[in-house]
Amino acid sequence: MSAVTGGAPTGRRAVVVGGGSGIGEACAVRLAQDGYAVVVADRDREAADRVVAGLPSGEHRAATVEVTDEDSVAALFASADEDGTGLHAVVNSAGTSTLGAVKDLPVAEFRSVLDVNLVGGFLVLQQAARHVVDGGAVVSLTSLNARQPGGGMSAYCAAKAGLAMLTEVAALELGPAGIRVNAVSPGLVVTPLTAPAMDIPGVKDDYVANTPLGRPGTPEEVAAAVSWLCSSESAWMTGEVMDLNGGAHTQRYPDLLGHVNRMLGVS
C-alpha cells in the first residue's frame, strides 16, 4: 500500500458510498492515498470499477449499492466487513437533487430526493454503526443547503438539513462506542450533480459573486476535509457539520429558480 498521510495507519478499511464520481470519487482517491483499503460503492458499477482501477496500489474493491434499498446497503457492509473485524472509515457521498417551486413540485420528486439523500443517509449510518470499530469515523456529505435555503430546492434543502441533524444524533448515540460521526457541507463544487445547474445562464456567476473567496471549490478540497475527519488528528471531534464553502454561508443563496425562469422566458 501507499505511504500513510493524514494520520491514517495502513491496514485500515474504508467504504465510500457514492464513490463513482465527483466528491465521492475524490474521497476514495484520497483515502486510498492515506493508506486505506477502499471499497468504492455506487449504483453505477462501471463508474465504481473505473475509480478502483485508478486508485493507488492496494486491496481496493468496487461494489454496487442502491442506497434507498435496506437490503442492498446491508449487503454492501456485510461484504466490506466479511471477516467481521470491522471497518475504520465510512463516507456517504450519495446524493441527488431536483428543481421546482413548492407549489408545483410533484410529491413523487420530493420523496425521491429525500429517499436518496436522507433515508439513504440513515441506512448508511445504521450499517456503519454496526460495522465501524472503536476509534473509527463516519463522514456524510451534506451541503450549504443544510443551512441556507434556495428557491426551487425544497426537497434538497430539507433532505440535507435532515442529514445534518441525523449526523448530530448519530454522534450522540455512537460516541460511547468510540465512533465519531461528522459531516462536511460543501458550497459550490462543480461535479456531475451540479453540472446541469452550471449550464443555466447566470447561475455560476451568481454563486461566485456570493462566495467571499470568489471561486468554486474542488472535489479534492472537500476530500481533504473528509480525510482529516477520518484521521486521528480529529480524534476529539464528533457531531460537527463543517462548512466548506469559501464563505458562501455569510452571503445569500443564488436565485436558481429565477435564473431558470429567465432562461425559459417565464415571468
Handedness of CA 15, 16, 19, 25 (dihedral sign): negative
Q: Is 253 a catalytic residue?
A: no
Write the CA distances from 59 to 1, 32, 38, 40, 46, integer angstroms.
8, 9, 7, 11, 18
Question: Which regions of the chain does DSSP assign to beta strands (E)?
Answer: 13-17, 37-42, 61-64, 87-92, 132-141, 180-186, 241-244
- For residues 157-188, one letter each, b for 16 or more C-beta atoms within 10 angstroms of the residue's C-beta and e for the rest, the string is bbbbbbbbebbbebbeebeeeebbbbbbbbbb
Q: Which residues have C-beta within 8 Å of that of residue 195, sequence separation ≥ 6? A: none
- Nearest partner of 25 among 247, 212, 191, 260, judged by Cα: 191
Question: Are 154 and 110 spatial neighbours (Cβ–Cβ below 8 Å)?
Answer: yes
Rounded CA-CA distance 139/226 in Å is 7
Question: Are 66 and 262 spatial neighbours (Cβ–Cβ below 8 Å)?
Answer: no
From the candidates 36, 156, 207, 253, give the one annotated as an active-site residue.
Answer: 156
Q: Would you name the residues annotated as active-site residues?
A: 156
